[in-house]
Amino acid sequence: TRITYIEHDGTEHVVDASNGDSVMEAAIKNLVPGIDADCGGACSCGTCHVFVDEAWQQAVGEPGEFEEPMLDINPERGANSRLSCQIDISDELDGLVVRLPEYQF
């Protein structure tokens, strides 16, 4: 499943991700910089923040109940913000584009 990560400076990383991994795990495994994931995917650190490309927002869906408060404390939060550890990769997300914030908080 192809996922494109775009760094804050515009650098693109196209990754061939495994279904079942999260968008965060695929970034870490493929050495994409810009995702810290301090909590290792437990939805409790907020340092795996990404902006989902507008065209993909519907496919990816809304933040979950426990994700919402973590996003809310982020000063850079936007309408398309998600925690990448909470997005599971599947065939439906083939071609997904996410943008990385300048810093992880």
Residues forming the site for ligand FES (CB under 6 A): 24, 37-39, 41-48, 70, 83, 85
Which tokens in the block code for residue 59?
């496919």
Name the residue nearer to ligand FES (CB basis): 10 or 35: 35
Q: How many CB atoms lie within 10 A of CB 16?
A: 9
Minimum CB distance to ligand FES, residue 24 (Å): 5
Name the residue nearer to ligand FES (CB basis): 10 or 69: 69
Tell me how long the chain is.
Answer: 105
Grouping H, G, I as helix, E, B as strand and the rest as coil, residue 54 is: helix
- For residue 56, with 0-12 CB atoms within 10 Å meaning exposed, 13-18 middle and 19 or more buried, which class applies? middle
The CB-nearest residue to ligand FES is: 85
Minimum CB distance to ligand FES, residue 58 (Å): 21
Name the residue nearer to ligand FES (CB basis): 10 or 40: 40
Cα separations in angstroms, 84 against 1, 7, 54: 15, 14, 15
Name the residue nearer to ligand FES (CB basis): 10 or 102: 102
Minimum CB distance to ligand FES, residue 62 (Å): 16
